[in-house]
Structure 1
Amino acid sequence: MIQAVPSSSTRVVQADWVELHAVLRGSATESLFTDMALDADETRDDVVRDLDSDEPGSFEEEIVESELFRQQQTVYEELLHRTSSYGDAYPFSLVERETGWTLSWSGSSPDGSPNIAALGYVAALTIAGYRAGILSLHHVRPSESRIGNVMQALSVMAARELVGGECYSFGFPREDRTTMLDACAKLVSRMGTGKAHRERPAGAKPAAKDGTVDIVAWRRLGDRLSSAVVLYGQVASGYNWHAKGVQDLIDAEFFCWFQDPPRRRGYLPALFMPFACYQEVSEPASSTTLSFREEASGRVRNDSESLGVIIDRFRLVRLLWDGVGKGTVNPNTDSVWPLVEEWISDSWPGWTAA
């Protein structure tokens, strides 16, 4: 089920790989990398040991051991960042041992009930692992639409928490099975502001499904005069997320369906995805003084300029965790939650969060 992770993968993907093992087995250690290196090289004796030498080690062996140590160390640094940044919302615990480290699954609630935030994290991690090629889902054979629907469900709950209000899952196919015109009318009715066209406006695409907007979230501020905070978001479940900026086509594809859009200017653009928002960042070259974390921070800042607020897997689980604490994220009332539960059950047969 869990595949070998290429040594050329970024530290983020390698850390995701360790998390997958911790989900499956309950815990994972740095020895995963040593075991993988040995299993992958059937002729490792020729690679790591000079057979003509009487010395216990060789130059080649030292190189391999040095690379393994570097790999284990960078992954440890990444896991440490995750535990320190997201606290109790991060469903794993990291313990440093005298000879290495252990990452353990800690996503079950004290009373034994499912931890909704942790399950949401596993659902998103499963998508990320599948996309990276480190998790095989041949037993599920997931369709693109199913993967997208699962990520849409998680994003709806997170968007609602982000603005502290309501959310309409606008991405097609919609849960309420509405057409584009009906969805626009329903949206302005729920938001209490704006006006939708009654017929397809001239120039609007006849086959339009969602106008490139997957999520609309808003928060009223008590006076009922207008929706003071409005978020328009895109949901990405694949590696094409750089091309998913909601601002790119919203004027031409979405706002044209309204006589008076609920909010045309001053809205909050957002992108939701199951990956780390700095997943593509490689280790800094020896010629630079920048650290990995500085490089990652700069990359996310630049991407946010075009994509808006980026809600990756870690920010998503933090929002879900906060919502569970407030009672605003509830699997018994969230109609989209069964999509997430079924995804986890099918992807991890026999697995429980306890």
Structure 2
Amino acid sequence: MADWLELLAITSAAGQVSISTLKSQLRRTSDDRTSAKELDADADDSGEPEVTDRAADDLEERVVDELSLRVQTVGSAYPFELVVNGKLGESQILRRKPTWNEAQTGELFYTFCLLDSCMREDLVKVPKAEQDFVQRIGNIFQICSCIAVGGYTEAQVVSFGFPRATGDGFLPALQAAWLRYGSYTVRQDIPHGFDAKLKDGGVDIIAWRPFDDGHAATFLMFVQVASGLDWKDKPVANDVKAIKQWFVDGVFEHFMPAICIPFPLWFDLDEPPKDASGKKLPFKDGILRRFAVRESAFGVIFDRGRIAQSSARVLGAPGGPRAGVDGVDRIGEVAAWVDEVMASLAEKRAAA
């Protein structure tokens, strides 16, 4: 619901949407009085109109809490602001910021992730004639993820995911990455048992923070970039163990796994969240628990807000974008995709 309101705000001609739009939407879709029960499993749905009204008020309150959390945690990289409309008393408005598509603030990356999520969740219907938008998401999100990893780690970042901008196959790409790293030797041939047409081996980004001496024993991160809803099936740690077989004369032992996703990590959190005994928890406690639980499988997690914030650190660095981060020179591709999608949505709105 929060994503839906953000989508309305960012695509509307006025650049804003009233949170009370949720109530209107709920009433239009709840003639049979079932929506209230679906929204709150403990609701006493007696079929009276006021039940739906209570559900609508509850939904609005929870969505405002969610939007307020995004304002707080994403900070200056959040492309919206939540304001009170004085003309309507205490009614709240979600308003698009003038800088909503600026890369240096990180807002462009949040906007891309929002549009990606809306397509994945069918909040934005993409007709067959425009499937190119969806097909390009993986490459665009790879750019966003590389920049975010670089901003968070202050590391050298190699874009390793397939298809690569360089057009290299797996073996030459792996050799190039470790030549750039400066230590360890990659085999000259494909190890027995591996597919000769291996694409990226489940690893999309390799990042490390070098010391001045250029030697090994550094911070080393391997990242899976997952732009779709199947991200839970993509922890990267086991894929890295397989890649170790491509080295000779010694290889790294320790590394940090990570994953990049375009959704808020808690987007599928049950409401209200519950502990192991079934006791209800405050929603924020459920979010805290979700991060702690997911860490065990994925390591460092870059979700939508973290990607937006971390990207801004690279692009807003003193002296301009920091060198050594693959993808920094391809920000224009992110902006172009967002502009094209926004133009298509505006065209459809005008025709409706």
Whether 1:293 and 2:284 are equivalent positions in the alignment is yes
Q: What residue identity is the alignment partner of 1:120?
A: F
Contact 2:143 2:328 in 1 (8 A): no
Change (3 A) 1:107 1:194: farther
Q: Secondary structure at the match of 1:249?
A: helix
Whether 1:272 and 2:265 are equivalent positions in the alignment is no
Q: What residue identity is the alignment partner of 1:204?
A: F
Change (3 A) 1:28 1:296: same
Whether 1:136 and 2:125 are equivalent positions in the alignment is yes
Tell me the equivalent position of 1:9: none
Contact 1:245 1:306 in 2 (8 A): yes
Gaps of 5+ in 1: 1-13, 49-57
Displacement after TM superposition at 1:143 (Å) = 6.3
Identity among equivalent pairs (%): 27
Distance 2:70 2:311 in 1: 16
Tell me the equivalent position of 2:43: none
Tell me the equivalent position of 1:256: 245
Tell me which of 100, 113, 116 is aligned to 1:124.
Answer: 113
Whether 1:311 and 2:302 are equivalent positions in the alignment is yes
Distance 1:229 1:235 in 2: 19
Distance 1:94 1:44 in 2: 32
Tell me the equivalent position of 1:36: 25
Distance 1:203 1:160 in 2: 33
Contact 1:128 1:275 in 2 (8 A): yes
Displacement after TM superposition at 1:78 (Å) = 0.5
Distance 1:340 1:125 in 2: 13
Displacement after TM superposition at 1:96 (Å) = 3.6
TM-score by length of 1: 0.83
Q: Secondary structure at the match of 2:310?
A: helix
Change (3 A) 1:261 1:126: farther
Tell me which of 204, 225, 230 is aligned to 1:214.
Answer: 204
Tell me the equivalent position of 1:16: 3
Q: Secondary structure at the match of 1:335?
A: helix
Gaps of 5+ in 2: 37-45, 347-352
Contact 1:193 1:227 in 2 (8 A): no
Contact 2:16 2:93 in 1 (8 A): yes
CA root-mean-square deviation = 2.8
Whether 1:282 and 2:276 are equivalent positions in the alignment is no
Q: Secondary structure at the match of 1:248?
A: helix
Tell me the equivalent position of 2:312: 321
CA-to-aligned-CA distance 1:82-117 (integer Å, 9 cap, x gap): 1112221212111245432111111518xx976562
Contact 1:157 1:329 in 2 (8 A): no
Distance 2:120 2:244 in 1: 32
Tell me which of 44, 61, 68 is aligned to 1:73.
Answer: 61
Tell me which of 68, 87, 104 is aligned to 2:75.
Answer: 87
Tell me which of 162, 170, 178 is aligned to 1:172.
Answer: 162
Q: What residue identity is the alignment partner of 2:92?
A: W
Change (3 A) 1:89 1:143: closer
Contact 2:152 2:313 in 1 (8 A): no
Displacement after TM superposition at 1:328 (Å) = 2.4
Change (3 A) 1:243 1:261: farther
Change (3 A) 1:210 1:91: same
Aligned residues: 323
> Which shifted more, 83-92 or 166-175?
83-92
Tell me the equivalent position of 1:225: 215
Distance 1:334 1:89 in 2: 17
Distance 1:350 1:299 in 2: 35
TM-score by length of 2: 0.84
> Which shifted more, 339-348 or 189-198?
339-348
CA-to-aligned-CA distance 1:27-64 (integer Å, 9 cap, x gap): 111121123234446x689x99xxxxxxxxx9712101
Tell me the equivalent position of 2:48: 60
Change (3 A) 1:126 1:227: farther
Distance 1:89 1:107 in 2: 12
> Which shifted more, 126-135 or 100-109?
100-109
Tell me the equivalent position of 2:336: 342
Change (3 A) 1:260 1:304: farther
Tell me the equivalent position of 1:234: 224
Contact 1:191 1:262 in 2 (8 A): no
Displacement after TM superposition at 1:296 (Å) = 1.7
